[in-house]
Structure 1
Amino acid sequence: MEEKSKYTNALEQIADLLEFKGENPFKINAFRNGVNVLRSQTSDIESMIKDGSIKNVKGIGKGIQSVIYDIYENGFSSDLEQLNQEIPTGILTMLEIRGLGPKKIKSIYSEFGISSIDELDAFCKQDKLKSIKGFGEKTQTLILKEIERINSTKNMMLIDSAIHLTKEISNILDKIKSIIKYSITGQVRRSLEVVDKIEFILSVIDQEKFLSECNANGLILSKAVMPVLIAEQNNYLKDKVECYKLDDFSAEIYFYILKDEQAFPLILFITTGSDEFIKEFELDKSASFKKEEDIFSKKGDGFIIPEMREIQYYQLDKSKRKNSAIEQNNFKGFFHFHTNFSDGKNTLQEMVNACRDKGFQY
């Protein structure tokens, strides 16, 4: 399912950018139709690409096939990369505004030179958009609300996307020989439904060698300020950790390199829990711990799984604090999910097949 979305997303973006450029409508419609055809396929897309059967699907012409095979073989679409270079960067974000569309964005850009969400926001707040033919006050108000939504969620991602990205980065980290050990931490380790950053904690043999190996494997890191909100924790961590951030990436991805390997359990604990949880826990930072479980034992608490390290859980009476015993095999089926009939990524048939493959009963 995840594999299919990377192809449909690329084709949709190509269609939008072609429409913005004013390309042939037939070509644009062919790409949009190709997206729908691809979404409707119940077979595994990458198996179809591999055995060539994708070429026999009606609606998947040679132009779309070229994009699909480019992504399959290289991990990206060179056509999409080229279009991105031809169009102002801010236009791509403007295309996320629901109800606006490539044609209207092109009109605003051509007539007023607006090429970013910030410029459009200022234009609307000056009451200028509503006077343009085809817009009006209602549209202007809706666009302002959309811009507010995008700005408030621009670094946000759903946990499934974050986990997928985390696995891709972990596959690279597994190849780096200068790493002694590492762990995912923060919001992803707590399995929040929506996260605004991905964080790793690492112990390395040699920091310069680690950075060099990262660079050689496509992870370009730059020194950064650690994104910890509580000043007390920040002051403690800055003496224990070197913080780096992944460059040129849409998501906020941080790497915390330990100055002392012995501090691994303690730093993992501090960076995992929510700020409120860590503050309430009243951690003894002067102590030394061999493993994370020892931190809870010293406090007289039972081990709390990462997913439950939230203030609303920790403020419960001790007698009511219990780690969840629910595991995946306890789930028998699904009551509610979204398909591509609304805002989901996959067809109803794909969802049914996936549930069956995972052993669910309904």
Structure 2
Amino acid sequence: MKNKEVAEVLRHIAALLEIKGDNPFRVRAYQRAAQNIEALTVDVEELARAGKLERIPGIGKDLAQKIKEIISTGTCQKYEDLKREVPPELINLLSIPGVGPKTAKLLYEKLGIKSIEELERACLEHRVSRLPGIRSKTEENILRGIQLLKQHVGRRPLGEILPLAEALVEMLRRQAPVDRIDVAGSIRRRRETVKDIDILVTSRNPARIMEVFVSLPLVGEIIARGETKTSVRLKEGIQVDLRAVDPACYGAALAYFTGSKAHNIRIRELGVQRGLKINEYGIFRGDERVGGREEEEVFAAVDLPWIPPELREDRGEIEAAQAGQLPRLVNYDEIKGDFHVHSLFSDGTASVEEIGAKARQLGLKWVGICDHSQGLRVAGGLTPKDIAAKKAAIQAFNRHSKDVKLLFGTEVDILSDGRLDYPDDLLREFELVIASIHSGFRQDEATLTGRILAAIENPLVHIVGHPTGRLIGERDPYPLDLKTIFSAAQKAGVALEINAYYKRLDLNDVNTRAAKEAGVLLAIGTDAHSLEQMNFLSLGVAVARRGWCEPQNILNTFSYRQLKEWLKKKVS
């Protein structure tokens, strides 16, 4: 699939245009096109062959032509021309949180900096803070951004890698003699970032499976090839290890390669206490294998019920299982709606009718259409006049739709002083109010916490969106007193969002569990700006499961009628 490759070139074009100081609308057009192509659930090359590129939101005739050029050559003339005008090395600097186009250009022109390593050295020597317009605080933020970048080297967001893993499994199922097949590792545990892909199979003809595997179109390089294990590097740059195992020990191998390492150590220790050796080859008493065909046998051997993969982090799941107190985790098929989708009325790419149709396709019963409020002009925030038009469109849809209902909602900005971006008399018109911070991230903990507490105290607010503001690998969470926020939310009956967009996953799993234990209700929203991004809902469910959430902790398990009652009760 060339989606990632095409999106990367378009994103680089946007970055180079931004460095040049080009028209911001043109920059935004390339950024939006890259985002929408990256989120596609089909191969962009197939759309190009079918002449359907212009059906992708944000893709017109000119961009469609450039995409075809990228697909066939790996680049396009526009990109090559820009690289001659602007040093392409500056794009690397833009990957650092806190370094924008103007700063990157200044660093290059004044200090000749073209790499992250050179920039780090210049900051440590305090040469950057001597530049005009650069403060010592900026220098500190750049160093913090470089450290953040280093922390995530070699790991990629789950939302980028999971579709690749699922595509590989599907291809192998269709083309190879597979009996059993599963994705293992941190993907199976649904960790928010992933280092590589582990796949296990059983087959009567493992040699044929390896032959098919290395010839798959996603594969870019063969690292090692054997009869029972083959490692490749995908064109996307991530390593995949495929192991063919004996059916008699498939369950033991699946448990072992799912991990986590800390969890596996605990299981092995429990086995030793019972005179057993447990490893990827099975369950052994002495030299005799006494089990391991199914995963459940591994847990039963140490007197435990089967533990869901999402919990296997040695965070108390062993003790809970021993006490018979494992949570009954919320299931993916129990989710009835998505709280947070943006439409054409703000910066989304789909109409309310298209969002309703996508919800129907996903098997959802309701969706909250929560566009940005007026203060976020860069995201097309809605004026009072826009709000009336949106309300009419949603009402019209609901009149004609029997199975899917849309909620007339807003994502209202929590301003720097804690006020909301709409007055209360306007907020009362909405069925659903999500309050979120989109600016002032560098305020201190007390100020940021106070802003969220002020939103929670407003009786018209139902949910606080992406509470910690983090972007995985790009921006750290801002400082908050979460214990105080959880307490206030529980008392006020305000839910906190698990934002399912793959770069946010905010609240994360640890904070989700803490919120649940504080009695806070959680609401999963995709924050989708395109129809394809509504598919990320399952990532939010994965966070809920890793956070030990049961159905009653998650508002998305409510029927439309139950949800409407909760929304009314909240503000009554």
TM-score, with structure 2 as normaliser: 0.47
CA RMSD of aligned residues (A): 4.6
The 8 Å contact of residues 222 and 247 in structure 1, kept in 2 or not, is answered as: no
Q: Equivalent of 2:76, from 55, 74, 79?
A: 79
* Equivalent residues in 2 for 1:60-139, closer than 5 Å: 62-69=61-68, 74=71, 78-79=75-76, 83=80, 91-139=90-138
The alpha-carbon distance between structure 1 residues 205 and 171, as it changes in their structure 2 partners (threshold 3 A), is same
Q: Describe the superposition over 1:128-183 as per-residue Cα deviations: whole angstroms up to 9, x where unpaired.
A: 11112232312211111111111112334443333212122224433553766532
The residue aligned with 2:450 is none
Amino acid at match of 2:328: S
The residue aligned with 2:437 is none
Segment drifting more, 91-100 vs 272-281: 91-100
User: How many Å separate the matches in 2 of 1:145 and 1:338?
Assistant: 32
SS of the equivalent of 2:76 reads helix
Task: Please say if 1:140 is aligned against 2:143.
Answer: no
The alpha-carbon distance between structure 1 residues 351 and 140, as it changes in their structure 2 partners (threshold 3 A), is farther
* Equivalent residues in 2 for 1:159-198, closer than 5 Å: 159-174=158-173, 177=176, 181-198=180-197
SS of the equivalent of 1:303 reads coil
The alpha-carbon distance between structure 1 residues 346 and 103, as it changes in their structure 2 partners (threshold 3 A), is same
The residue aligned with 1:296 is 299
SS of the equivalent of 2:241 reads strand
Q: Equivalent of 2:254, from 268, 276, 281?
A: 268
The 8 Å contact of residues 249 and 294 in structure 2, kept in 1 or not, is answered as: no
Aligned length: 332
1:189 offset after TM fit, Å?
0.9
Q: Equivalent of 1:327, from 316, 319, 331?
A: 331
The alpha-carbon distance between structure 1 residues 328 and 176, as it changes in their structure 2 partners (threshold 3 A), is closer
User: How many Å separate the matches in 2 of 1:291 and 1:115?
Assistant: 53
Query: By percentage of residues, which structure has more strand?
Result: 2
The alpha-carbon distance between structure 1 residues 60 and 183, as it changes in their structure 2 partners (threshold 3 A), is closer
SS of the equivalent of 1:296 reads helix
Q: Equivalent of 1:25, from 6, 13, 22?
A: 22
The alpha-carbon distance between structure 1 residues 5 and 95, as it changes in their structure 2 partners (threshold 3 A), is same
1:340 offset after TM fit, Å?
9.2
* Equivalent residues in 2 for 1:277-316, closer than 5 Å: 277-282=263-268, 283=271, 284-285=277-278, 286=284, 287=289, 288-311=291-314, 312-316=316-320
Q: Equivalent of 2:233, from 222, 226, 246?
A: 246
1:124 offset after TM fit, Å?
1.0
Amino acid at match of 1:32: R
User: How many Å separate the matches in 2 of 1:326 and 1:76?
Assistant: 46
The residue aligned with 1:359 is 364
User: How many Å separate the matches in 2 of 1:213 and 1:168?
Assistant: 14
The 8 Å contact of residues 96 and 142 in structure 2, kept in 1 or not, is answered as: yes
The residue aligned with 2:441 is none
The alpha-carbon distance between structure 1 residues 93 and 199, as it changes in their structure 2 partners (threshold 3 A), is farther
Q: How much identity, in percent, do the aligned residues show?
A: 18
The 8 Å contact of residues 184 and 199 in structure 2, kept in 1 or not, is answered as: yes
Amino acid at match of 2:22: P
The 8 Å contact of residues 13 and 80 in structure 1, kept in 2 or not, is answered as: no
Amino acid at match of 2:304: D
Q: Describe the superposition over 1:299-350 as per-residue Cα deviations: whole angstroms up to 9, x where unpaired.
A: 2322223223232211225243446353233223344x47599xx9867957
The alpha-carbon distance between structure 1 residues 88 and 151, as it changes in their structure 2 partners (threshold 3 A), is farther
The 8 Å contact of residues 333 and 360 in structure 1, kept in 2 or not, is answered as: yes
Amino acid at match of 2:196: K
1:127 offset after TM fit, Å?
1.0
Unaligned residue ranges in structure 2 (runs of 5+): 272-276, 279-283, 368-572
User: How many Å separate the matches in 1 of 2:89 and 2:328?
Assistant: 44
The 8 Å contact of residues 97 and 143 in structure 1, kept in 2 or not, is answered as: yes
SS of the equivalent of 1:145 reads helix
User: How many Å separate the matches in 1 of 2:56 and 2:319?
Assistant: 60
Amino acid at match of 2:76: D
1:264 offset after TM fit, Å?
2.8
The alpha-carbon distance between structure 1 residues 152 and 80, as it changes in their structure 2 partners (threshold 3 A), is farther
The alpha-carbon distance between structure 1 residues 352 and 96, as it changes in their structure 2 partners (threshold 3 A), is farther
The 8 Å contact of residues 273 and 309 in structure 1, kept in 2 or not, is answered as: yes
TM-score, with structure 1 as normaliser: 0.70
Amino acid at match of 1:306: P
The 8 Å contact of residues 157 and 194 in structure 1, kept in 2 or not, is answered as: yes
The residue aligned with 2:438 is none
User: How many Å separate the matches in 2 of 1:35 and 1:152?
Assistant: 25
Segment drifting more, 325-334 vs 270-279: 325-334
1:269 offset after TM fit, Å?
1.0
1:185 offset after TM fit, Å?
0.1
Unaligned residue ranges in structure 1 (runs of 5+): 225-239
Q: Describe the superposition over 1:239-283 as per-residue Cα deviations: whole angstroms up to 9, x where unpaired.
A: x975735266444x3304347564332221111131121111124
The 8 Å contact of residues 203 and 264 in structure 1, kept in 2 or not, is answered as: yes
The 8 Å contact of residues 229 and 243 in structure 2, kept in 1 or not, is answered as: yes
